[in-house]
Structure 1
């Protein structure tokens, strides 16, 4: 009997990605991601609108079904008739479909002030998309019922998948709008943004905020007790962030517009309880020679060098921390050492008891660079205190004289063939090590090649270098090997191999001679 073959059914995400890829042609991923994500947003907004419309009719409130207030009160975006998905699908095969979509998105933004500056602006008409390929993508998206399983957050899942795939497609030097999810999850599990103000000075597409909200939900917290503030420099990425948050019903203040955090800080007086960030690595010429010299954000520290913005980002975040605030952010490894103004700033950060943990990550975690990078944890309150997370009461010991170093370079699992990510178990284990180190009555111990709790005196002896390998013990696995005996054995093996090769060569020459060939090998 013939063997029955089974075909794995494609996920919603994979089907959408295949349909989206048909649009590529001469369009860069950096362009067409706004087309695809804009359409996904439009379908989601329409499905929520239609659900609310049916609800109003069921309640006998048909006369209110075209009044936006009755939608906004339930956190639903109001859509005029020409902005609804059903209208767009009817027009899908028409020559002016791109213009129809642009008009629909423009109307949605006008009718919903919270979406100001969020949606793609004339992308569809401007890019000259192939009409049949666009119609095919519309058909694929039309099959998704975004409201079918609210618990599964289908649209959020699709959106996250697409952001990841677009970052992979854009590759090195691009894709800065996305921080790999497992790194964001790790930062959230470590600093535990549970209640208060969250800030991201380089928020990209808003991934830090999304994972913060998920952390709160997973620990049975109240999303209403969190306020979100962010800033993003690139206008198209600013739009991505606003869309990403809007589809999840997350309110955030991302400033009036896309703007440079250094040159146009839109949250000057903010004091945040949690900061999560992945600022651009090693940003050069981020300020002019005589610009931002007297900026209040560096008060008490040296002015960060204009040749590299790493310490500008650090001090921006330090200035925004509340008295109990904690920051988790990613920087290139070069910030861990080096001289000049960076050395002086780093030394003061340690002396001021702000540095709590330094976590070195594996290579190949980022889609935009293959360098190894570091998570920094800064904490304004390393003294003895108590904190409640969900039903758990945490008692923290005094850590002012200590810094935890973690080396995660041997941890992780393959992802998309050439990348590394942390699995859920890895994240929980790493976070547990950190929290055990923080708390009283824990069983924390230094582990060779993994973690070490260094004192300020230790760090001073290393001239305030924060490179983890200077502190974490590494095991000499060769210390019990008799190298002389090992070398003799290897040389003997090599001699045998060479003798065998020589014998094979002689035998081969004899064969050729018998066949009448004069061959030299």
Structure 2
């Protein structure tokens, strides 16, 4: 057997660019089609229809791929699962036995593949969507319209998957035109997720990867369409990736008490897979107050086959904590900034406020202490907060921050650039805490406020290289291997230095400014030269202006 030829770096780059171009075109195609619903519903409502259809297509494609894999194993005489034809009296008996085996739930659940009942599989929906009202359905009952068909599929899925009970949003009540729904079903059906090509070039991405990308893309676009309120469930992928790369959650309990649509959990799965780990070695815990967002998170986990515990329902993490008795190994969160209406008197003597009672008018330090409370003895956490949390001295915030610093829990502070979020222009930072720090009595400060690029006129983003630079700097510092302070970027500071700065944690205060190379020219001489140059330019400008006026005068425009 010949070994495959080694691929060049440029081949890999070209393939990545082709994949991205394919995904970009697919995104716009699907979004343009889905946007037809805008004429009938606002973004807050039509997202349920679109994401519901993506959910059905996603789980159905994953199920079908697993079914084909099982079929291959059952018909392979060298495989332990082989179903021997000679044990059956007829071909018909054998095919019945094969079909029965293919419907064995254990084969799917064992590989974290979502079980999809026959009447909810995409092929069945696609075929039945063209029926006339009143036509007998293959699984019983009569066809009552496309919306009812989709809702019945959701109902069947919830019956077979108890965790999704009450999660899948029904769409019959929205009154969407039946032809519009048929068009969306046909659009998703016509898109080749299993053998995609782009300009004739095969795309080496699985259906699950493509549909997962589409799902995340739609979440982001809906967040933009809904503005501030929509953005509450969507954290930029680059920030999620950065935090996961810094924390490296290989195994243990992973928790997000303000989970939105579950982006941190999805990225955790990707991180583990990319590092040849096992997703079954992590346990996912989350909580979310918004009922719609709580449902989106549950769907996001279900389509990826990730086991999770999000509590029995949506709930307030402060007033109704769903996992108060659990200690977590990794906590990642992007809670809403500067929430003012979070307090209730029942929280006055709460054991979570170990470092001071948070101000009633701002939940930032309530979130911080809630997460610290949940950390296991070796637990690590990363939390996105507004920049004000690093320096505010009002309403006991300064004292709480001081107590946390003195407890030597803070491992690193990262200042982020502006314009990263769809729903707020408030500058943000990342707090990284660790109950088992490798470098006691020190804190790493990273100023990433000048890193990144403008991906459009309003939003900034990180490249993979940007994420690697920050994460690698953090890990090099943790391990004391190859780390050096870099002016204007990173600085390792002692607790004594932080105390000398009144326990303010703004990275810019510690990292300083970039060094300017000395060219040997004295400042006074530089200033003299610059002044002479400026005067010469003023003179040239006056001469040019006089020439222009002279020419205009010759044309009769004086």
Instruction: Specify if TM > 0.5.
Output: yes
Give the Cα–Cα distance (whole angstroms) in 2 for the partners of residues 195 and 70 of structure 1.
25
The partner residue of 1:85 within 93, 97, 122 is 122
Aligned to 2:504: 465
Judging changes above 3 Å, is the alpha-carbon distance between structure 1 residues 66 and 329 closer, same or farther for their aligned structure 2 residues? Answer: same
RMSD of the alignment, in Å?
2.5
Deviations 1:97-120 (A, max 9, x none): 112212211221122113223311
Aligned to 1:330: 384
Aligned to 1:5: none
Aligned to 1:490: 534
SS of residue matched to 2:318 = coil
Judging changes above 3 Å, is the alpha-carbon distance between structure 1 residues 487 and 106 closer, same or farther for their aligned structure 2 residues? Answer: farther
The partner residue of 1:166 within 222, 233, 236 is 222
Q: CA deviation at 1:172?
A: 3.7
Aligned to 2:463: 423
Q: CA deviation at 1:74?
A: 5.4
Whether the 8 Å contact between 1:40 and 1:155 is mirrored in structure 2 is: yes
Residues 1:183 and 2:235 are matched in the alignment = no
SS of residue matched to 2:233 = coil
Aligned to 1:436: 476
The partner residue of 2:44 within 25, 30, 45 is 30
Give the Cα–Cα distance (whole angstroms) in 1 for the partners of residues 268 and 107 of structure 2.
30
TM (norm. structure 1) is 0.87
Q: CA deviation at 1:51?
A: 5.1
Q: CA deviation at 1:50?
A: 4.4
Residues 1:45 and 2:82 are matched in the alignment = no
Whether the 8 Å contact between 1:47 and 1:145 is mirrored in structure 2 is: no
Aligned to 1:501: 545
Q: Which has the higher helix share?
A: 2
Q: CA deviation at 1:478?
A: 9.9
The partner residue of 1:221 within 277, 282, 299 is 277
Q: CA deviation at 1:312?
A: 0.4
Residues 1:62 and 2:99 are matched in the alignment = yes
Give the Cα–Cα distance (whole angstroms) in 2 for the partners of residues 242 and 76 of structure 1.
15
Q: CA deviation at 1:270?
A: 1.1
Whether the 8 Å contact between 1:230 and 1:253 is mirrored in structure 2 is: yes
Q: CA deviation at 1:503?
A: 4.0
Judging changes above 3 Å, is the alpha-carbon distance between structure 1 residues 201 and 498 closer, same or farther for their aligned structure 2 residues? Answer: same
Aligned to 1:408: 448
Whether the 8 Å contact between 2:415 and 2:447 is mirrored in structure 1 is: yes
Give the Cα–Cα distance (whole angstroms) in 2 for the partners of residues 352 and 160 of structure 1.
38
Unaligned runs of at least 5 residues, structure 2: 1-20, 76-82, 84-96, 134-144, 196-204
Unaligned runs of at least 5 residues, structure 1: 1-7, 384-398, 513-518
TM (norm. structure 2) is 0.81
Aligned to 2:201: none
Give the Cα–Cα distance (whole angstroms) in 2 for the partners of residues 445 and 78 of structure 1.
51
Whether the 8 Å contact between 2:224 and 2:230 is mirrored in structure 1 is: no
SS of residue matched to 1:135 = helix
SS of residue matched to 1:179 = coil
Residues 1:279 and 2:335 are matched in the alignment = yes
Whether the 8 Å contact between 1:117 and 1:257 is mirrored in structure 2 is: no
Whether the 8 Å contact between 1:155 and 1:247 is mirrored in structure 2 is: no
Whether the 8 Å contact between 2:378 and 2:435 is mirrored in structure 1 is: yes
Q: CA deviation at 1:14?
A: 3.0
SS of residue matched to 1:443 = coil
The total of aligned residue pairs comes to: 487
Give the Cα–Cα distance (whole angstroms) in 2 for the partners of residues 485 and 133 of structure 1.
70
Q: CA deviation at 1:487?
A: 2.8
Judging changes above 3 Å, is the alpha-carbon distance between structure 1 residues 192 and 25 closer, same or farther for their aligned structure 2 residues? Answer: same
The partner residue of 1:319 within 357, 373, 397 is 373
Give the Cα–Cα distance (whole angstroms) in 1 for the partners of residues 271 and 154 of structure 2.
31
Q: CA deviation at 1:510?
A: 4.6
Q: CA deviation at 1:494?
A: 1.9
Residues 1:15 and 2:47 are matched in the alignment = no
The partner residue of 1:141 within 171, 184, 188 is 188
* Segment drifting more, 124-133 vs 401-410: 124-133
